[in-house]
Amino acid sequence: MTRPCLPPLPVALAPAFRAPAGACDSHAHVFGPFARYPLAADRSYTPAEHPADAFIAHLDELGLTRGVLVTASASGTDNSVVIDALRQYPTRLRGIAVPAPDIADAELDAWHEAGVRGVRFNLYQLAGHAVYRNGVGIDVLEALAPRLRARGWHAQIWIHAPDLVELGPRLKALRLPLVIDHMGRMATARGAQDPGFQTLCAMLADGVAWTKISGADRLQPAGAPYREVDPFVAALMAANAEQVVWGSDWPHINYFETAQMPDDGALFNLLARWLPDDADRQRVLVSNPARLYDFPA
């Protein structure tokens, strides 16, 4: 029996700025109703039901137009909750799925028609041990890479940035766009000069990788205002502002009991500090995700 996750907080802080038209939350998850979309029996956490219409309400509350749903590890390789959400909201949503190793071309094509534009691979380890159960590893990624290239998809990589020093060359050899989740899940205590984080910056600068300036609450668990995250965002934007998107990580899974659940309003308002220039907000919230996720013009 896994521990139940805390529910997301109501938005306490109103948006500090008006999001531009077409703005996108590029990382979120949906779950349930469980009678139709059951969780994987073997999982690391147990979220509450957060169906597609709840995510649309989250977008509307922040003044966002679009969203990207990522199949979470608690769903295993059952992507049906995400695929059905994409079909329900075809103009507003795109998806990132988790493939079974033996997935057929017909299923990949059906996913593409629904709005999937990439697949997620779980390489996230600490001290050599996987942090989350489920997920698909690098061997499956390498086997699928030609089929992903043929569809114009990218590989979304859940990885600890220090591991990019070793795995970066292997990932680059895939000849796929790479999207590194949550700024490489860097603990701020490691500092922005950490060799792994600098490898991530170099991959952005070379146009090999993208990243999501998301998960500030994971990088600095002490809570808002997350100022220790600022140097990491500044370094990524300086490396290549054309390869950066933003996500809320709603509904903030894997928070338990007395953990400090983040306020989505506070997370969104970080962009007022991180991206004071309107042109950068347009890039990160609108034009970059439109290009990466193939939203209509």
What is the distance between the alpha carbons of residues 99 and 77, in angstroms, rounded to a whole number? 6
197 in Cβ contact with 227 (< 8 Å): no
Residue-level length of the chain: 297
| 267: helix, strand or coil | helix
Treating both helix axes as pointing N-terminal to C-terminal, what angle do 52-62 and 264-274 enclose, rounded to 10 degrees?
40
Q: Could you tell me the two tokens for 213?
A: 């300036």
Residue given tokens 């042109």 in the structure block: 279
Closest among 249, 242, 163, 235 to 209, alpha carbons compared = 242
Dihedral sign for Cα 40, 185, 243, 196, please. negative
Say how far apart CA 52 and CA 89 lie, in whole Å: 9
CB atoms within 10 A of CB 146: 11
Q: Is 249 a catalytic residue?
A: yes
> Which one of 181, 217, 249, 264 is the catalytic residue?
249
Element (H, E) at 179: strand 178-180
H or E stretch at 169: helix 164-172
Look at the block and give the residue holding tokens 């992507």.
79
How would you label 42-73 residue by residue, b for 16+ Cβ within 10 Å and e otherwise? ebbbbbeebbbebbbebbeebebbbbbbbbbb
* C-alpha dihedral, 76 to 254 to 24 to 77, nearest 10°: 0
Q: Is 6 helix (H, G, I), strand (E, B) or coil?
A: coil
**Active site positions, annotated:** 249
